[in-house]
Structure 1
């Protein structure tokens, strides 16, 4: 029997003699992971300074081992969760163990198929309001920041779906707070602990605390008004407040409701908006694909708004979004820490706080062994025929295993409805001379926004 290699013997770039790959991890993480896996295979060790090892995985077999078959050997990295905690609290994303299982069990009914179908009217109304605003713009020649628009509509939708509350009046304030909080959280994650302590009143720390306070005030105010009977709603918040532990009879406290609501608010807003932004950018580069999607919309809908029954028939439109999530997965890395020793790709993985394991979703989705011509935008990759020949865990934009994103079906439904309605009325064109670059924050956003030209679609003859 072959003896497992040590971490020092694992494949990976040499990097700086002392700092390893820490500078590239901070400044060009997408390029670092992609190049490392292209040169060294699906299992790569990246040195982060003299003592920390980052083990990156980009193969479906390894993903299955860590997230499905032996998930008990890997937990959420405490150091990374510490940086997420101020924003998300002890919510579904950051919690672990028995507490996480309890919360997942309490929240699952909120995402049953029937409940999601009932949200179709909300999706349609919000999108039509956005399109009316687009149509009323005084100058069609002025660029439209599509990334900002997608953020705005998904923020409005999640507010209605979660709270039955239209937050469009506070979109700028809440959106700015979210942007700042996410940006600072990402900086903290990338710093690997090399930053000013949270208790110091630096400008960054003060701005971050103010942003989180703004978000807290919005969420807790909604919860308070619902508790006092000032507002009502058949929404996700109502199901969370009514959820009761079958064993203890306990319900969620306001603090826990805040944490779960903030997690859903962020996940239901930031990730879908980022995926939609990249989809519009990619469509503008491929007019033939856009024409096929528009033809499907015209055939299925005939000019009317989609219903829940129409969504499964808009297959190609859904594939557009899925392919955008392949090329630019919002959750571009999934972090774990080994809590039990293990063996991966013939390498002994110790249970150590000095070892962080990441699944590089970005590199996995561009692995040429799994995705022929991986850089090409090809929605038909998600046809049933081509999907059947691919390992199931070659594509994990929503994670995998028991921690599969609870809102994955809502995100797909939301994207399909928004895309179909936009295609009925407008064409989005690239702004000449503008270069679009990915910026890997907590999600991958278009750096500096996504200015595009908006063209009304001629009425069908």
Structure 2
């Protein structure tokens, strides 16, 4: 066998002689990864300053190597954990090792499909309340920020479905706090550790602390009310509060509950809301797809309220959502740090915190080898026939391997029910002249929101 190449010999854009590709990574990371793979193939090295290397892979075979076959050689990057820790603490996203396995095992039963089916009613009820607000607007001809509406909706759903608590009254301040917290976390991640320490009273640090305080106040209030017996429910919070360590008998502290709850608020609220916002944008740009999806909803539901049992019959609607997540995956990039030496695509990968292997779904989902005409919106890509012909790791909206998103079935059911209910009563139209751009924070948002016209299909809708 030929001797493995060193990192310095790996293909990739040279960039600045000292800073490498760091400026492009900060200002337009989506295009940086996309262009790099278009020009250099499915294995690319990007230099982040003089000492840090990003290895980006878009090949299903290489992704499987990292996330599945040799997952023990790769862990969450220490820098990512450090920068995400103020928001997520030691939750499922940031934790690792035996602690992560224990938490995952404790939480998994709450996300089984049979249990999720019992949550469908609350999802549809929240959607109908949103539509009632749309109909009651004093200025119905004015555009509505659909991205903000989806945030408000999914926040209410995650509160009721996962914690038996309606937090929709806090949606505005929680949504604003999440925006500030995510923007600051993203800035810290991109700065490669070169940011003001938390103890310095800079304007950014003060805003960040205030945002974290808002999130903590909502989460700790939910926990305190449950401990005091003011609320109850057969939900995830109840499962976590009742769980005991098999060896010590200890239960989770409020801080541990806070970390998992905050992680679930982000995963079950922010990501699904963004995916839905992008779906409405894409449907407005592709009216023939919208017409077909609405026809399927009418055929299956006939105007009645959707249930979990209807989802298997809403096959095309599911494909539409899957295709929206292909083009605009909320988790647009995933990162791993080599903790053991490895060889990847014939290149030596040292065990070092200065080497990060990334799998960017935004670029993977645009790999023309896997997705012909990748920029075209085509839900038929997810027909059973076409899906069966693709490698499993070609599509990663929920990640892959053992750290596949625990809430993937929750998100798919939630989105399908929301879309079906909205399509029965409203048509969403783009605002002429408004440019919609993706903003790659920790999740992929429509930059500046998504103003759209929301038009009732009939007067009694």
| TM-score when normalising by structure 1 | 0.98
Q: What's 1:308 paired with?
A: 308
Report Cα offsets for 1:137-184 as digits up to 9, x if no partner.
122220010000011100110111122111121111111111111111
Q: What's 1:79 paired with?
A: 79
Task: Kindly indicate whether the alpha-carbon contact (under 8 Å) linking 1:106 and 1:244 is maintained by their aligned counterparts in 2.
Answer: no
Unaligned runs of 5+ in 1: none
Unaligned runs of 5+ in 2: none
Tell me the secondary structure at the aligned position of residue 234 of structure 2: coil
Report Cα offsets for 1:322-375 as digits up to 9, x if no partner.
111100111111011000000011100001111111111110010000001100
1:376 partnered with 2:376:
yes
Shift of 1:443: 0.7
| TM-score when normalising by structure 2 | 0.98
Distance 2:338 2:205 in 1: 31
Alignment of 1:227-242 (within 5 A): 227-242=227-242
Report Cα offsets for 1:20-69 as digits up to 9, x if no partner.
00000000000000000010011100011111111111111111000000
Tell me the secondary structure at the aligned position of residue 309 of structure 1: helix
Distance 2:5 2:231 in 1: 60
Q: What's 1:262 paired with?
A: 262
Distance 2:52 2:429 in 1: 45
Q: Which moved more, 1:441-450 or 1:170-179?
A: 170-179
Superposed structure 1 runs of 4+ greater than 6 Å apart: none
Task: Kindly indicate whether the alpha-carbon contact (under 8 Å) linking 1:298 and 1:424 is maintained by their aligned counterparts in 2.
Answer: yes
Distance 1:355 1:215 in 2: 32
Alignment of 1:446-461 (within 5 A): 446-458=446-458
Q: What's 2:171 paired with?
A: 171
Shift of 1:247: 4.4
Distance 1:430 1:453 in 2: 6
Distance 1:304 1:319 in 2: 21
Shift of 1:248: 4.1
Shift of 1:245: 3.5
Task: Kindly indicate whether the alpha-carbon contact (under 8 Å) linking 1:106 and 1:245 is maintained by their aligned counterparts in 2.
Answer: no
Shift of 1:249: 3.3
Distance 2:451 2:416 in 1: 22
Alignment of 1:42-441 (within 5 A): 42-441=42-441
1:12 partnered with 2:12:
yes
Shift of 1:251: 2.5
Distance 2:290 2:433 in 1: 21
Distance 1:331 1:61 in 2: 20
RMSD value, Cα: 1.2
Distance 1:245 1:383 in 2: 44
Shift of 1:229: 1.1
Task: Kindly indicate whether the alpha-carbon contact (under 8 Å) linking 1:162 and 1:261 is maintained by their aligned counterparts in 2.
Answer: no
Q: Which moved more, 1:221-230 or 1:5-14?
A: 221-230
